[in-house]
Amino acid sequence: MKFSSPYVLALGLVAISGCAEPVKFERSLDEVVQLVDKEARGPNYGPIGTPRPPQAGGDLFAFAASATEKSPSVTAAEMRRAASEARIEELRRAFRPQVSMAIEQTQTQQDILYSSNPSFAGNSSKYTTLDTTLTARQKVLDYAASADIASARAELVARGADLMVAQQDALDGMLRRYIGSAEALERFSLANAEVAYYTSRNQSEAQQVGEGAMRQSKRAETMAELARARSDLAVAQADYRIRVDSFCRMASDVACPLPRAVNLSRPLPRPEPLTEAERNAVANSPEQQSLKGTLSAALREVERARLELRPRVSVVAERSRRDRGGSLFDGSSLTETTDIGVLMEWDMYTSGRVKATKTRELNEALAIEHEREQRLRDQVNDLETAHAALAALWQNDQALQAVVTNRAQGLSALRLEMDAGSATEVEIGMAQMEVVRAQVLRQATRRNYVAATVARARATGALDADVVKYVANILSDGQLSTKAYR
């Protein structure tokens, strides 16, 4: 072998580099990211189980933006979209020149068993042949590969829509947790009022028992209700803290706003009628765009299967070099060859494989279309359900406003009667508890109204900053939040 050949030197360098870094298949994700692309975005999850302490003055809008951006689901969708972009570039570059090199070394042992022209050098020889080939290939025509590019572009549209779906889901999940925390606050508020009432009533009845005006057995009922109210208060407080901690785990780089209760003094907007434009918006929602993109990609796969029987044309240029050692009958030689030609490949008969592929791809496309139709029906149903709920809840809120007003007026009248000596502290406490009960009932109605508003926006893929600000505006009563979280 002649090591002066540049091809042989290249082979030696490849061999040395391969020995310097043996191939391994046990690398972790971080190792592969560093090996392939050091600028790639690897996993970066926030702390789990150690939420940032909530703050009463935290900004819900900033928290929502951070929770959406840092969501692993959103990051995964971004990575899938980036992978689709790379897939398009991968397929496009297949139509650019492809250069490869092949080096083959052959050791030949030749033994002459019989010859009419005997050799004076003996009957055995050994020589080496080194073949080096440099090939450049330019794809000119490939219908199936072109269909692959079209399919990848449709897939990119679907992955972009998936990213919007992930962002909507992350924001929806964050708002649901925030609104759900208000439900625990409502139970805490009612239990707190019940504890106050039954404590006052228990003290009054204890005095009556001491004076002999009431039997102890009658007082036992009040003591049982007081114990039950204290238990409800502890359970509601623990539930609120659990929900707040779960909410705060969604983002760790900004202050977590302490969830608040529904504010009864804020005006509740009258629900807008459901318009045809809003129904049509469902058909253009991120979920529908994703399924349409997936369907388009599946249809391109059907086209690819059909075009697989078309000819493929490439231009091929080869530069070959053969270094052959001498044998018994001829001397050594060194030859170089240059070949330039057009290569046409045509699969003319595949035993039904292509037909089966077309059938499979077509049925997959039809399945996606049926799935899209079902998803569209579900989204329209969600939209109409949310709208119907908004209308009923708004009417209920108006009715409960009168209930709260009447309860408050009754409490005021009782206080005047107490000043006149015709009402007791126990009656005042009971009236106060009924006012709180009516307020909590109205808060629950308003909370459900806010949840239905979020669901209506989610059905059309319209969750945005305005919806977050709307939620923060209605859920803005922080009187009991700090006390409940302790």
CATH of the domain at 179: 1.20.1600.10
Same domain (yes/no): 278, 411: yes
CA distance 237 to 189: 10
Please check the confidence at residue 176 and state whether its pLDDT lies above 90: yes
- Whether 209 maps to a domain, the answer reads no
Q: What is the average pLDDT value for the chain, to the nearest integer? A: 88
- 11 pLDDT band, cuts 50/70/90, is low
Looking at residues 172-187, what average pLDDT do you find? 96
Per-residue confidence (pLDDT) for residue 325, from 0 to 100 = 80
CA distance 439 to 212: 37
Q: How far apart, in Å, are the Cα atoms of 169 and each of 2, 73, 175? A: 66, 9, 10
- Whether 16 maps to a domain, the answer reads yes
- Whether 317 maps to a domain, the answer reads yes
Residue with tokens 């570059």: 93
Same domain (yes/no): 35, 89: no
H or E element that contains 98: strand 98-111
Same domain (yes/no): 9, 101: no
CA distance 87 to 37: 16
Q: How far apart, in Å, are the Cα atoms of 394 and each of 266, 272, 306, 389? A: 13, 11, 57, 8
Core vs surface per residue 215-227: b (16+ CB within 10 A) or e: eeeebeebeebbe
Same domain (yes/no): 34, 135: no
Same domain (yes/no): 31, 162: no
Same domain (yes/no): 38, 69: no
Looking at residues 51-74, what average pLDDT do you find? 90
Looking at residues 113-121, what average pLDDT do you find? 65
Looking at residues 201-228, what average pLDDT do you find? 89
- Whether 369 maps to a domain, the answer reads no
DSSP per-residue codes, 278-343: HHHHHHTSHHHHHHHHHHHHHHHHHHHHHHTTS-EEEEEEEEEEEEE---SSS--EEEEEEEEEEE
Same domain (yes/no): 37, 92: no
Same domain (yes/no): 270, 330: yes
CA distance 183 to 191: 13
Same domain (yes/no): 194, 284: yes
CA distance 179 to 450: 8
Strands 256-257 and 54-55: parallel
* Structure-token pair, residue 8: 């042989």
- Whether 354 maps to a domain, the answer reads no
Core vs surface per residue 250-276: b (16+ CB within 10 A) or e: bbbebbbbbbbbbbbeeebeebeebee
Please check the confidence at residue 115 and state whether its pLDDT lies above 70: no
Q: Which residues are CB-neighbours of 123 under 8 A, at least 6 positions away? A: 111, 112, 113, 328
> C-alpha angle with apex 371: 369 to 372, nearest 5 degrees?
65
CA distance 195 to 185: 15
- Whether 220 maps to a domain, the answer reads no
Count of the separate structural domains present in the chain:
2
Per-residue confidence (pLDDT) for residue 252, from 0 to 100 = 84
Per-residue confidence (pLDDT) for residue 42, from 0 to 100 = 54
Q: How far apart, in Å, are the Cα atoms of 4 and each of 9, 102, 319, 376? A: 7, 18, 18, 70
Per-residue confidence (pLDDT) for residue 57, from 0 to 100 = 85
Per-residue confidence (pLDDT) for residue 32, from 0 to 100 = 67
CA distance 358 to 299: 10
One-letter amino acid at 67 equals A
Looking at residues 318-347, what average pLDDT do you find? 87
Q: How far is CA 270 from the centre of its chain?
A: 33
- Whether 22 maps to a domain, the answer reads yes
Looking at residues 329-343, what average pLDDT do you find? 87
Looking at residues 59-82, what average pLDDT do you find? 93
For the question of whether the overall pTM of this predicted structure is more than 0.85, the answer is no
Looking at residues 38-51, what average pLDDT do you find? 54
Give me the domain span that covers residue 331. 64-107+126-201+229-348+380-485
Q: What is the DSSP letter of 249?
A: T
Same domain (yes/no): 389, 257: yes
**C-alpha distance across the termini of the chain, in Å:** 83
Per-residue confidence (pLDDT) for residue 4, from 0 to 100 = 44
User: SS3 of 247, please?
Assistant: helix
Same domain (yes/no): 15, 139: no
Residue with tokens 């592969």: 32
Same domain (yes/no): 8, 100: no
- Whether 47 maps to a domain, the answer reads no
